[in-house]
Amino acid sequence: MIDLLAMHKHFLGAHMKKGGTAVDFTMGNGHDTLYLCESVGDEGHVYAFDIQEQAIVNTEKLLRDSGCPLNWTLIHDSHANVLNYINQPICAGIFNLGWLPGADRQVTTRRESTAAAVEAALGLLDSDGILLIAVYPGHEEGRLEGEMLEARLSKVSRYDMSVSKLQIINSPLSPYFYAAERK
Ligand SMILES: C[S@@+](CC[C@H](N)C(=O)[O-])C[C@H]1O[C@@H](n2cnc3c(N)ncnc32)[C@H](O)[C@@H]1O
């Protein structure tokens, strides 16, 4: 059976650069942040965003307990405001849409801010950089975020980026993801 998380790493791993700058646009419990911190190493830097204080607390604990490099900045703000914090090219950006596992499901990512953040992220992406966006179509807002992303990402010039979608087509409510790779 296909393991989507292993596939995330497969796509991301080909683009991670020691010393690079990476962004976790949906910090949550910090697992993707930790992966990015370890991948870019001591000389790199990771910025992670979340609108929930609990995500900052959980992620800071995970990063400190893991002994990963002190190469991170945790930002308590919407990812839609990313350009207020970052203006250098990024080698990788991760969106893991939806809600914080174990927390209030009403606090979920939403089309308007997701669209603004993805637009900004596309602009920040360095040559050979990757944007990975995991979508959860099993709830209504997640389904609509997926539709919005499909419409936007299918319009990206194929001369500039390669945009792939990995979906289990006989399980349409299962999570799927987009990988946008800059040439
Ligand atoms: C599925 S969780 C992310 C899981 C995380 N990547 C991990 O490894 O644990 C989605 C997160 O997005 C956050 N979120 C929702 N809207 C947001 C926004 N506008 N900006 C930043 N984060 C947001 C939620 O608070 C939640 O923590």
DSSP conformation letters of the chain:
---HHHHHHHHHHTT--TT-EEEESS-TTSHHHHHHHHHH-TT-EEEEEES-HHHHHHHHHHHHHHT--S-EEEEES-GGGGGGT--S-EEEEEEE-SB-TTS-TTSB--HHHHHHHHHHHHHHEEEEEEEEEEE-TTSHHHHHHHHHHHHHHTTS-TTTEEEEEE--TT-TTS-EEEEEEE-
Mean pLDDT rounded to a whole number for the chain: 97
pLDDT at 43: 97
Which pTM was predicted?
Answer: 0.97
The predicted model gives 22-34 an average pLDDT of: 98
Q: How close is the Cα of 111 to the center of ligand 1, in Å?
A: 13
Task: Find out whether the beta carbon of 107 lies less than 6 Å from any atom of ligand 1.
Answer: yes
- Is pLDDT of 49 > 90? yes
- Is pLDDT of 133 > 90? yes
Best of 50, 54, 110 for a ligand 1 pocket test (most atoms within 8 Å of beta carbon): 50
pLDDT at 176: 98
pLDDT at 151: 98
pLDDT at 158: 97
Q: What percent of the chain has pLDDT over 90?
A: 96
The predicted model gives 14-37 an average pLDDT of: 97
Residues 6+ apart with CB under 8 A from 130: 11, 12, 14, 15, 91, 92, 93, 179, 180, 181, 182
Cross-strand partners of 49: 75
- Is pLDDT of 22 > 90? yes
- Is pLDDT of 2 > 90? no
* Beta strands 176-182 and 125-135, pairing class: antiparallel
- Is pLDDT of 40 > 90? yes
CATH classification code of 4-175: 3.40.50.150
Q: How close is the Cα of 105 to the center of ligand 1, in Å?
A: 11
Best of 8, 82, 109, 177 for a ligand 1 pocket test (most atoms within 8 Å of beta carbon): 109
Q: What is the pLDDT of residues 90-128, one digit of tens each?
A: 999 999 999 998 888 999 999 999 999 999 999 999 999
Residues 6+ apart with CB under 8 A from 89: 21, 124, 125, 126, 129
Measured by CA distance, the residue closest to atom 22 of ligand 1 is: 50
Please give the number of the atom of ligand 1 that sits closest to the Cα of 29. Answer: 9
Q: How close is the Cα of 117 to the center of ligand 1, in Å?
A: 12
Task: Find out whether the beta carbon of 96 lies less than 6 Å from any atom of ligand 1.
Answer: yes
pLDDT at 119: 98
* Beta strands 176-182 and 161-166, pairing class: antiparallel
Residue ranges of the domains in the chain? 4-175
- Is pLDDT of 175 > 90? yes
Task: Find out whether the beta carbon of 114 lies less than 6 Å from any atom of ligand 1.
Answer: no
Q: How close is the Cα of 50 to the center of ligand 1, in Å?
A: 6
Measured by CA distance, the residue closest to atom 17 of ligand 1 is: 109
